[in-house]
A and B are shown apart, each in its own frame.
Chain A
Amino acid sequence: MSRWEVVIGLEIHAQLATKSKIFSGASTAYGAEPNTQACLVDLGYPGVLPVLNEEVVRMACKFGLAIGAEIAPRSVFARKNYFYPDLPKGYQISQYELPIVANGELIIDSDDGERKRIGVTRAHLEEDAGKSVHEGFDRMSGIDLNRAGTPLLEIVSEPDLRSAKDAVAYMRKIHTLVRYLGICDGNMQEGSFRCDANVSVRPQGQEAFGTRAEIKNLNSFRFVERAINFEVERQIDVLEDGGDVVQETRLYDSARDETRSMRSKEEANDYRYFPDPDLLPVEIADDYVEAVRQTLPELPDAKQARLQESLGVKAEDAAILTIQRELADFFEAAAKASSAPGQTVANWVLGELSGALNRDGLDISASRVSAEALATLVDRIHDNTISGKIAKDVFEAMWQGEGSADEIIDARGLKQITDAGAIEAIVDKVIADNPGQAEEYRAGKEKLIGFFVGQVMKETGGKANPGQVNQLLKKKLSG
């Protein structure tokens, strides 16, 4: 065990999935031509005023309720003042002293196998800035203000995380949650979900925190893990060489897999926060909160527990199924339509179906086999119409759009031979054709049973029931 303890807190920025911006009517759609989705309010024109998009309040409430947090009856937008070319007003509208969500928590499955409570200090609403583009403008910078005014929920954790893996587990959990709630699309490539990591180390057993560095703008789970690991080692090296960690903001360079200093505490801006006089405080009544609570979907933890308890899915698979709400919903629809045990359906969803989706780069919502169609296929295995092996071929045919399971089974004549007489005749023939092997089997080489099963299946074109064949072979060979 290292003599250093790692302390991490994350500030996650989740872009809220509203149609229009937080303080203007401009669209939030990603990928438009630069500066085509910025109206006068986003451009910070003289005289314009912000008007709060009420949808963001509802979304923040949903998130707060999902993490068992307090929804502030009164929260206040504040101005964070600093100069930057992609910040047209010279201030960002955020929440400072009175955030909309406070004191929530989340349980993660920690690196060390324990279930661990991670506190969420607060979540507040704010607007995003625009984007500066420094390449391709010959010693100038391009500014794209399409993103300016995009609504963000900044989710700030307590410094409760103790390893890079824990940080990733926490971030994944939030990622799953915001998508369940339908408040963020979670698209990390497009920057819809990203985080800053506050990292420090301290000697094991020491209560006081070490000096922290803040790593900005991490936009993949892998980068979060690698950036934190790099930073932890860097800080330990500094301390073990007798140096001091400097409080500063650092950037993670994924190409070099290292963090670099961006600015020190001395260079840090004094943001001169004060309540934004253009916006009224956000007042939220209890009945509003209750109404939002009624709209909450089943949350990932609850769903996972239910899949395990009611549908008999093993913990590991239930966890994977519930990462994405749509996948869990697909599974549930299939399990409901099928008479097979839940675990069998889960095997198919996580096996063939997920494999096919990955292979074709499709999301579950674009699956070429519906939940009901998959259920029918699983049922045909369960009722011994086809074997599991044949079923894989049938699935592939379904995926290629050749029809339903039953249509394909009929068309290809894949139905299992369950007629005992017919199978018996083939079994007899196979034993008769292979007298040497039969002799060896009888002499005790029992694993030859597999050879005989294989031969029978070959003769039947895979349509015999392997269990039935096995049973019959054993009887005949020992007889």
Chain B
Amino acid sequence: MSVSDKPIYDRTMTELSRGLAAGDFSSVELTTALLDRIETLDGALNAVLTVTRDEALAAASAADDLRAAGDAGPLAGLPILHKDIFCTRGVRTSCGSKMLNTFIPPYDATVVERLAAAGAVMLGKTNMDEFAMGSSNETSFYGNVMNPWDLERSPGGSSGGSSAAVAARLTPVATGTDTGGSIRQPAALTGTVGIKPTYGRVSRYGMIAFASSLDQAGVITRSVEDAALVLGVMAGFDERDSTSIDQPVPDYVAELDTPLDGVRVGIVRQHFDEGLEAATGDQVRAALKTLEARGATLVDVDLPNLDQSVPTYYVVAPAECSSNLSRFDGIRFGYRAKDPEDLLDLYCRTRGEGFGAEVKRRILTGTYVLSAGYYDAYYLKAQQVRQLIADDFRKAFADVDVIAGPTAPTPAFRLGEKTDDPVTMYLNDIYTIGANLAGLPAMSVPCGFADGLPVGLHLVAPHFAESALMAVGHQYQLETDWHTRCPEDYR
């Protein structure tokens, strides 16, 4: 099927960009088509929390004008949805929580600002696990998101609204954030592409913090090419984020053409042990064969401390979240409990009523591990283990260019299936958390189906090697068409 035969909503950002440039359609037409699609289809998905129709149409019209004037930015008139964790000036930013149900930021996050400056048109804000804490989108105060491949299943989390929206062709691209796998796991579970760049590559300014040393913004798309296009706009130093890194941003799209010949792909044997569902493992192994067939060399690598990554993460992330979420106290913004008796009552009830169970669980865990007498045994120890894990990756990358494996141990699970057992839920991120602990860029690309549900291939690269990472993904996509598959009801 040639691009011109594809329905407009099924086209990638790159394809839409060409269409706009060629004058096949206007941004207003494109935007209207997608807004209408969201209106028609999202009722069953609950992927989009806020639709900014008026603002979107105004931005689209402005983009059309600029294009007519010959002054179109790299993403001029192209649609995007933002995860509701990114502050958007004048548009409610809930972070999936009752706590911020009425919060309207007076400023734009750097990511939002940069994409808008490049001409992107924000269609609205996507659903997410509350404060990005969850792997199924079931912790959202606004209800769970349904997976377009099977409405009884989870689209993953915490960027589940973004992954479901991209998979259902409500938008070609949606932003996400990834603290332990929150872009990559939902991408895997919905058959989309999700990239989490190197820690510090994209500014965190205006992104509501969950665990500051792990949080990183990224993007969910339907092709690696789109990821390269959009990431190139999002990335770069921001003086408002002290942890963002001042390094030039390569031309990611141009570097996608790097062939796989001689690329050394590391395989971690433990990732294929028990815990990985058989059919998922088969698809990932097949994907590795494809890479090999295109000229890559498969090399075994050892990450001896990686089995400590989940417990390490569940000390570090809650510790940081317990502090980051202290500002939600009912004093300055967000939810405030009614008729408090005194200050303590105001604090206790505001936080008791405003936060959901998973958020409270993590705040309590984090408060505990930072407490006097426990700090050394938990937080300090976890930071030491984190260093060991980072060292493992560094040593492995002496021998390989990327590390490949499964993104998640199973395809999309049923809604409600894991909600009673937090640890089982946490183990869904077992393959992805290591990249966050080590600050490495990583992505998930669709690599097949298990029982009709998408499976993701996980790729990790050394710091700032996003180009190499995306080149591998792109070369794989030149050989396969998994990423073009659309869930039946959304074709």
Residues of chain A whose beta carbon lies under 8 Å from any beta carbon of chain B: 40, 43-52, 79, 81, 83, 85, 88-91, 143, 270, 272-274, 277-280
30 contacts between A and B (CB under 8 A): A40-B107, A44-B327, A45-B106, A45-B107, A46-B95, A46-B100, A46-B105, A46-B328, A46-B334, A47-B87, A47-B105, A47-B109, A49-B205, A49-B242, A49-B243, A51-B240, A51-B242, A81-B370, A83-B347, A85-B329, A85-B331, A89-B327, A91-B326, A143-B331, A272-B370, A273-B370, A273-B375, A274-B319, A274-B320, A279-B243
Contacts of A40 in B (CB 8 A): 106-107
Pick the contact of B331: A47, A88, A273 (CB < 8 A).
A88
Task: Please name the residue on chain A nearest to B103 by beta carbon.
Answer: A46
Question: Is A270 touching B239 in the complex (CB atoms < 8 A)?
Answer: no
Per-position 1/0 for B325-337, Cβ under 8 A of A:
1111101111000
Q: Are B243 and A46 in contact (CB under 8 A)?
A: no
Q: Once the chains bind, are B370 and A46 in contact (CB under 8 Å)?
A: no
A453 vs B242: C-alpha distance in the bound complex, in angstroms? 79
CB pair B343–A278 under 8 Å, yes or no, is no
Given contacts A47-B205, A278-B209, 7 further A-B contacts (CB under 8 A): A47-B107, A49-B240, A49-B243, A51-B239, A51-B241, A278-B242, A278-B243
B22 interfacial contact with A, CB 8 Å: no
B325 (CB) vs chain A CBs: closest residue: A90
Minimal Cβ-Cβ distance residue in A for B379: A274
| 9 residue pairs, one from A and one from B, having the closest CB atoms | A90-B326, A272-B370, A277-B213, A277-B212, A47-B206, A46-B208, A47-B87, A44-B327, A89-B327
A contact residues around B93 at 8 Å (CB) = 46
Interface assignment of B371: CB less than 8 Å from any CB of chain A = yes
Residues of A within 8 A of B95 (CB): 46
Q: Is the CB of B206 within 8 A of A272?
A: no
- Pick the residue among B87, B240, B331, B347 that contacts A46 (CB under 8 A): B87
Shortest Cβ distance from residue A90 to the other chain B in the assembled complex, whole angstroms: 2
Interface residues of B (CB under 8 A from A): 86-87, 93, 95, 100, 103, 105-107, 109, 204-209, 211-213, 239-243, 319-320, 322-323, 325-329, 331-334, 343, 347, 367, 370-372, 375, 379
Question: Cα distance A296–B360 when bound, in Å?
Answer: 51
- Of chain A, the residue at the smallest CB distance from B367 is A272
Residues on the B chain within 8 Å of A46, using CB: 87, 93, 95, 100, 103, 105, 208-209, 327-328, 333-334
Whether B370 and A90, one on each chain, are in contact in the complex, defined by CB atoms closer than 8 angstroms, is no
Q: Which residue of A lies closest to B95 (CB)?
A: A46
Contact of A91 with B106 at beta-carbon distance under 8 Å, contacts A277-B213, A278-B212 already known: no
In the complex, chain B residues whose CB is within 8 Å of the CB of A272: 322-323, 367, 370-372, 375
Known interface pairs A83-B329, A85-B343, A278-B243; A45-B105 also in contact (CB < 8 Å): yes
Q: How far is the CB of B210 from chain A (nearest CB, A)?
A: 11
The complex places the Cα of A314 from the Cα of B109 at a distance, in Å, of: 63
Q: How far is the CB of A56 from chain B (nearest CB, A)?
A: 14
Within the complex, what minimum Cβ distance (angstroms) separates B97 from chain A?
Answer: 10
Give B99's nearest chain A residue, CB to CB.
Answer: A46
Contacts of A143 in B (CB 8 A): 331
Chain A residues whose CB sits within 8 angstroms of the CB of B106 once the complex forms: 40, 45
Do residues A48 and B243 form an inter-chain contact, with CB atoms below 8 A?
no
Contact A79 B242 (CB under 8 A): no
Could you tell me the distance in whole angstroms from the C-beta of A97 to the nearest C-beta in chain B? 11
Please measure, in the bound complex, the distance between the C-alpha atom of A40 and the C-alpha atom of B205, giving whole angstroms: 12
For A270, the chain B residues whose CB sits under 8 A away are 371-372
CB-contact partner of A280 in B109, B243, B323, B347, under 8 A = B243
B375 touches A274 (CB 8 A): yes
In the complex, what residues of A have CB within 8 A of residue B320's CB? 274, 277
In angstroms, how far is the closest chain A Cβ from the Cβ of B105?
A: 7
**Given the complex, which residues of A lie within 8 Å of B319, measured CB to CB?**
274
On chain B, the residues within 8 Å of A44 by CB distance are: 327, 332
A48 near B371 with CB under 8 A, answer: no
Q: Which residues of A contact B328 (CB under 8 A)?
A: 46
Main secondary structure of the interface of A (DSSP, over half): loop
**Cβ A47 vs Cβ B329 within 8 A:** no
Q: Is the CB of A49 within 8 A of B241?
A: yes
Complex Cα distance, B213 from A334, in Å, reads 58
Whole-angstrom distance from the CB of A443 to the nearest CB of chain B?
A: 89
Instruction: List the A residue with the shortest CB-CB distance to B326.
Output: A90
A90 to B330 Cα, complex, angstroms: 11
Contacts of A83 in B (CB 8 A): 326, 329, 347
Beta-carbon nearest neighbor of A272 in chain B: B370
Bound Cα distance A16, B143 (Å)? 49
**Bound form: Cα–Cα A270–B372 in Å:** 7
CA–CA, A88 to B242, complex, Å?
20
In the bound complex, residues from chain A placing their C-beta under 8 Å from that of B329 are: 83, 85, 90
**Which residue from A45, A50, A85, A91 sits with its C-beta under 8 Å from B333?**
A45
Nearest Cβ distance between residue A412 and chain B, in whole angstroms?
Answer: 64
Task: Report whether B343 and A274 are in contact in the complex, using a CB–CB cutoff of 8 Å.
Answer: no
Which chain A residues lie closer than 8 Å to B239 at the CB level?
Answer: 51
Nearest CB in chain B: distance from A155 CB, A: 25
Looking at the assembled complex, report how far the CB atom of A278 sits from the nearest CB atom of chain B, in whole angstroms: 5
Whether A47 pairs with B207 at a CB distance below 8 angstroms is: yes
The chain A residue sitting closest to B86, CB to CB, is A47
Q: Please measure, in the bound complex, the distance between the C-alpha atom of A52 and the C-alpha atom of B206, giving whole angstroms.
A: 17
A residues in contact with B334, CB < 8 Å: 46
Residue among B86, B243, B325, B334 with most chain A CB within 10 A: B243
Cβ contacts under 8 Å, A273 to chain B: 370, 375
Residues in A neighbouring B103, C-beta threshold 8 A: 46
Query: By the criterion CB–CB under 8 Å, are B323 and A79 in contact?
Result: yes
B368 nearest in chain A by CB position: A272
Q: Are A49 and B204 in contact (CB under 8 A)?
A: yes
Residues of the B chain whose Cβ atoms lie less than 8 Å from the Cβ of A52: 242
Q: What's the Cα separation between A88 and B240 when bound, in Å?
A: 19
**Which chain B residues lie closer than 8 Å to A278 at the CB level?**
209, 212, 242-243
Q: Give the docked Cα–Cα distance between A48 and B320 (Å).
A: 15
On chain A, the residues within 8 Å of B322 by CB distance are 81, 272
Most chain-B CB neighbours within 10 Å: which of A47, A51, A279, A280?
A47
Q: In angstroms, how far is the closest chain B Cβ from the Cβ of A116?
A: 35
A45 to B108, CA, bound (A): 12
B491 CB, min distance to chain A CBs, angstroms: 37
Inter-chain contact A48/B205, CB cutoff 8 Å:
yes
Q: Which of B325, B332, B375 has the most CB of A within 10 A?
A: B332
Looking across the interface, which residue of chain B has its beta carbon closest to that of A79?
B323
| B240 contacts across to A, CB distance below 8 A | 49, 51
Please state if A280 and B242 are interface contacts (CB–CB under 8 Å): yes
Residues of A within 8 A of B100 (CB): 46
Chain B residues with Cβ below 8 Å from A89 are 326-327
- The residue in B100, B212, B326, B372 that gathers the most chain A C-beta atoms within 10 A of its C-beta is B326
Most chain B CB neighbours (cut-off 10 Å) among A40, A83, A279: A83
Q: Is the CB of A91 within 8 A of B204?
A: no
Roughly how many angstroms separate A274 CA and B317 CA in the complex, as a whole number?
Answer: 13
A144 CB, min distance to chain B CBs, angstroms = 13
How long is the Cα–Cα vector from A272 to B320 in the complex, in angstroms? 11
CA distance A270 to B373 in the complex (A): 10
Separation of A278 and B204 alpha carbons in the complex (Å):
9
Q: A24 — nearest CB in chain B belongs to which residue?
A: B240
User: How distant is the Cα of A365 from the Cα of B385 in the complex, in angstroms?
Assistant: 59
Q: Measured between alpha carbons, how far is A51 from B242 in the docked complex, in Å?
A: 6
Give the complex CA separation of A90 and B329 in angstroms.
8
A50 to B86, CA, bound (A): 17
Given A83-B329, A272-B371, is A47 in contact with B209 using a C-beta cutoff of 8 Å?
yes
Check B371–A88 contact: CB distance below 8 A.
Answer: no
Q: Which residues of B contact A88 (CB under 8 A)?
A: 327, 331-332
Complex interface: chain A residues within 8 A of B241 (CB): 49, 51
Bound complex: CA of A45 vs CA of B103, how far in Å?
10
Query: Which of A52, A274, A280 is most buried by chain B, counting CB atoms within 10 A of its CB?
Result: A274
Q: Which residue of A lies closest to B215 (CB)?
A: A277
User: Which of B207, B322, B331 is most buried by chain A, counting CB atoms within 10 A of its CB?
Assistant: B331
The residue on A at minimum CB distance from B319 is A274
CB distance from A287 to the nearest CB of B (A): 21
Q: List the A side residues contacting B333 at CB < 8 Å.
A: 45-46
Given the complex of chains A and B, what is the CA–CA distance between A52 and B209 in angstroms?
Answer: 18
